[in-house]
Structure 1
Amino acid sequence: MDENDRSIAGFTMAGHALVHWFETSIPIFLVVWLAEFDVTIALLGLVVALGYAPFGLGALPGGILADRYGTKRLIVLCLAGMSLSFLALSVATSIYAIAAGLLLWGIAASVYHPAGLSLISTGVDDRGTVFAWHGIAGNVGIALGPFVAATLLIVLEWQLVAALLAVPGLLAVVYGLTAQFDPTAAVEDDVDAGPTEALSLSDLLGNSRALFASTFAIVFVIVTFEGLYYRGMLTYLPEILHGVPAMETLAVPEGLEGISPADYIYVGLLVVGMAGQYVGGKLTDRVSPDRGLAGLFVALAVLAVAFVPVTTMGLGAIVALCAVFGFFLFAIQPFYQNAVAVYTPPDTRGLSYGYTYLGEFGLGAASIAVAGFVLEGFSTAAFFVLIAGFAAAGAVLSAALAAGLDRFLEASPDTATGLNE
């Protein structure tokens, strides 16, 4: 990587890690808030949903803003907004103030993924390597957020913990303001990839129609199926692991009765995901995104079905399967991120990633409700078959894309006809 690539990598890695640092620390506060404000779980769940909902739904407007105002500016504002939101939580004295703080966090966090990935796609020459390190940084945040929050809550009041969690974000804002790089270094000189004038509604609709008349339409559906798989598995796998026979037979040391070995297995899965992110990112330089996605979706479908017999086996088999699963679950992410970069024009990259993460985090969240219904009304085996079905659908679409399905669409990503000039 050259100096510009390294600068963008460092900036986006910090942003990606911190988005998930804040995101995964929020559930740790739930038990404390239940006792602090004497509210029902249902009400608190609604309050937390106010934070998570805009995180996914705001990705599309976040992408539009990235195209309009520039990616670096949006990411710095994202970091500042998330940090200030947690500072607001630290002085909250009612459940309504908690709701307001979480809502502000979700709005601020929603712009990161379309802005950060747009920046990498237009500013980095060694894109696969940076996608890999960017993904690893996200996994670091996913693992460290709840770990640090839970550890600090043992010895400190929750208000102080919320304030301390904001400190890395504030430091990242300072770093971002001083970072120097060319956000369009990877784009040809005659291609406009910088901030544009505000688009009219007709221009925005025209650009959107052009995107969905191109190969991006297939990529969007593929990403949505990946989101359905990802959200469903990561939401319910911890609960499933808690109930498997192998966990119930393990003795927990005195004084650690609240900790289950399943929790450590789950965190380990996320840690192994860092290796998956790295390998997947490096492979995007060698394997086309459509073929890579097809193969990885097949692997994920097989792994989901494999959980049915393995959860009845011993601890060693469960740990091994979770490790392999964690690797492949995160190895696929650089491939769909690269697919967006390959199949969309540079001047609408923010809009493209906005739609991408609307599918990943917004539409993908539907599997939480659907899979929860299946898990409660049917069986664990039916749950894993459903999840495998999402991966199978993604594999079929990816294979069709590799076979030339995009030729049947009206526009190609190279011409990008209909996009606003």
Structure 2
Amino acid sequence: MNANDRSIIALVTTGHGLVHTYELSIPIFMTVWLAELGVAEATLGAVVGGGYFLFGAGALPSGILVDRFGSRRLIACGLAGMGAAFVLLGLLPGLWGLGAALLAWGAAASVYHPAGLALISTGVRQRGRALAYHGIAGNVGIAGGPLLTALLLLVFDWATVAVLLGLPGLIAAAGAWRASVDETAAVGRHDATDGPSSTASANPGRLTALWRQTRHLFASGFAGVFVLVALSGLYYRGVLTFLPDLLTPLVTVDLPIDVSAGRYVYAGLLAVGIAGQYVGGRLSDRGGTEWVLAGALGLLSLVAVVFLPVAGGGTGALLVVSAGLGFVLFLVQPLYQATVAEYTPPDTRGLSYGYTYLAVFGIGAAGAALSGGLLQLAGPPLLFGALAGVALLGAGLSAWLAVRRAQLTDPEAATGLSP
């Protein structure tokens, strides 16, 4: 691995870790906001869901900007935006200030995944190793970010913690802006023409091609996969958004300090998810992922059904069922990512993953508002019942895709490209 590879890996692992640190620290903050701001679950869910929506919806336009301006500069801008948004989160007053800061965070965060993955694909010669490090960094942010937030809340008020979390993003942005990397080292200058700006210069033909590729994708089996990953996103955001607050009253052991215990169970649940991602990745290597994904989503439905009854059996039972939720929740992710690859041709793979992020994080953001509304309406039983239904719909759709593909016999249909 040469110096350029190492520089790019340092940049993208920092960015990936921070993105997920910020994303999954927000539910920790919500345990405080519900108590201190005096807002209802439905209102807070809608406000938070707006930021999460931009996190996903911005992936497609961000991909276009990456082609025009280059990955490194976009990563630097995204890190600066995320860091500044969390500083503003701690400084702006009231619910409106909170909403504005979260919208700014979502818009800035949407830049990272298209830019980071594009930089790895074009700049790193040892791409597989880079992707492995990239995934590990994301997992560190997923598990470590909420834990760090919870620990800081033991010492500081939430506004100070938000500002403190924003500072690493600003520092990382300065480093990314000053970094010197060759973004085209893995593809060669002859493949990149005159650099990032020339590859996506203003050209109406590019928009026409984008529209044509989009129509081709959604006229194929990918349309079903898009709905499937959107359902997965609804479950993901719906179960995680208010989970730290829901877990706290279920912890029955006495703790030596006065804390919101659900925050730590939540962080532990996300840590177990790392193992789920690994197992899901191994299972996805076998091909024909629809049946495996259907089984995983069926397990998610079952976990939603039994979660509250089992968790009510004491702290030990709560930890077991929470670990099960974390494992299966993240088991699903590499499985649907592999399914997207099976249902799309290589020349539209980037576009297909752009739509995948739109479905998971954009449409899935409605899960935050849905969970807030259901909790306010009837409490946790209705929420977990609805989540069980969402996962069951996803399992049924994945099974249908498996049956449909088995019934198609010609080679083109087998790739999922025939209508």
TM-score by length of structure 2 reads 0.77
- 1: distance between equivalents of 2:119 and 2:283? 20
- Of residues 263-272 and 297-306 in structure 1, the stretch that sits farther from structure 2 once superposed is 297-306
The CA deviation string for residues 3-42 of structure 1, in whole angstroms up to 9 with x for no partner, is 988776554332221112223344556688899xx96536
Partner of 2:254: 251
How far does the alpha carbon of each residue in 1:350-399 deviate from its partner, in whole angstroms, 9 at most, with x for none?
A: 43223212211222233344445555555644443332222222222223
Query: 1:144 aligned to 2:144?
Result: yes
Give 5+ residue unaligned stretches, structure 1.
Answer: none
Q: How many correspondences in the alignment?
A: 408
Q: How does 1:230-309 map to 2 (within 5 A)?
A: 230-244=236-250, 247=251, 249-253=252-256, 256-260=257-261, 262-309=262-309
1:227-283 CA distances to partner (integer Å, 9 max, x unpaired)? 111112213443443344xx3x43233xx23332x3322221111111222332344
Partner of 1:327: 327
Map of 1:75 onto structure 2: 75
Contact 1:68 1:196 in 2 (8 A): yes
1:152 and 1:382, CA in 2 relative to 1: closer, same or farther beyond 3 A?
closer
Task: Indicate if the aligned counterparts of 1:216 and 1:343 stay in contact, CA closer than 8 A.
Answer: yes
Q: Deviations over 1:187-232 (max 9, x none)?
A: 9x9999x844445354432222122123322221111111111112
Distance 2:58 2:364 in 1: 14
- Cα offset, 1:139, TM superposition: 3.5
One-letter code aligned to 2:352: S
CA distance in 1: counterparts of 2:356 and 2:62, whole angstroms: 11
Q: Does the 8 Å contact 1:129/1:282 carry over to 2? A: no
Is the 8 Å Cα contact of residues 374 and 383 (structure 2) preserved in structure 1?
yes
Q: Aligned pair 1:41/2:39, yes or no?
A: yes
Shift, 1:300, TM fit: 1.8
Q: Single out whichever of 269-278 and 400-409 deviates more from structure 2.
A: 400-409
Instruction: Name the structure 1 match of 2:111.
Output: 111
Q: Could you tell me how far apart the structure 1 residues matched to 2:245 and 2:413 are?
A: 44
| Structure 2 letter corresponding to 1:51 | G
Deviation of 1:161 (Å):
4.3
Specify the alignment match of 1:343 in structure 2: 343
- In the TM superposition, residue 122 of structure 1 has moved relative to its aligned partner by 7.0
Partner amino acid, structure 2, of 1:318: L
Structure 1 CA distance, aligned partners of 2:363 and 2:300? 19
1:87–1:162: 8 Å Cα contact kept in structure 2?
A: yes
One-letter code aligned to 1:41: V
In structure 2, the CA distance between the partners of 1:353 and 1:223, relative to structure 1 (3 Å rule), is same
Structure 2: state its 5+ residue gaps.
none
Contact 1:269 1:326 in 2 (8 A): yes
Aligned to 2:220: 214
The answer on whether the counterparts of 1:214 and 1:413 sit within 8 Å (CA) in structure 2 is: no
Amino acid at match of 2:354: G
AA at the equivalent of 1:274: I
Instruction: Answer whether contact 1:135 1:278 (CA < 8 A) is retained.
Output: no
Which residue in 2 is equivalent to 1:365? Answer: 365
CA deviation after TM superposition for structure 1 residue 58, in Å? 2.0
The AA in structure 1 aligned to 2:234 is L
- Structure 2 residue identity aligned to 1:389: G
CA distance in 2, matches of 1:280, 1:359: 20
* Inter-partner Cα distance in structure 2 for 1:184 and 1:403: 43
Inter-partner Cα distance in structure 1 for 2:263 and 2:119: 35
State the secondary structure of the residue aligned to 1:41: coil
Percent pairwise identity? 50
Distance of aligned partners of 1:14 and 1:337 in 2 relative to their CA distance in 1, 3 Å threshold: farther
Aligned to 1:60: 60
Change (3 A) 1:131 1:229: farther
For residues 155 and 385 of structure 1, the distance between their equivalents in structure 2, rounded to whole angstroms, comes to 37
With over 3 angstroms needed to count, the CA separation of the structure-2 counterparts of 1:218 and 1:124, relative to structure 1, is: farther
Q: Is the 8 A contact 1:304 1:384 kept in 2?
A: yes
Change (3 A) 1:344 1:71: farther
Relative distance call for 1:72 and 1:294 in structure 2 (3 A) is: farther
Cα separation, 2, equivalents of 1:94 and 1:313? 38
Contact 1:90 1:163 in 2 (8 A): yes
In the superposition, the TM-score normalised over structure 1's length comes to: 0.77
Does 314-323 or 277-286 show the bigger shift? 277-286
Give yes or no for contact 2:405–2:413 (8 Å, CA) kept in 1. no
Letter in 1 for 2:240: L
8 Å CA contact 1:135, 1:277 repeated in 2: no
Judge which range, 269-278 or 161-170, deviates more: 161-170
Amino acid aligned to 2:225 = V
- Segment drifting more, 120-129 vs 338-347: 120-129
Kindly provide the CA deviation profile for residues 292-349 of structure 1, in whole angstroms up to 9, marking residues without a partner as x: 4223222222322232531332332221121122112112212222333443345544
- Partners of 1:131 and 1:395 lie apart in 2 by 28
Quick one: distance in 1 between partners of 2:121 and 2:298?
A: 27
In structure 2, the CA distance between the partners of 1:338 and 1:169, relative to structure 1 (3 Å rule), is: farther
User: 1:218 corresponds to which letter in structure 2?
Assistant: G
How far, CA to CA, are the matches of 1:11 and 1:232 in structure 2?
31
Q: Following the alignment from structure 2 to structure 1, what is the Cα–Cα distance between the partners of residues 27 and 388?
A: 27
In structure 1, what is the Cα distance between the partners aligned to 2:211 and 2:30? 40
**Do the aligned partners of 1:118 and 1:349 also contact (CA within 8 Å) in 2?**
no
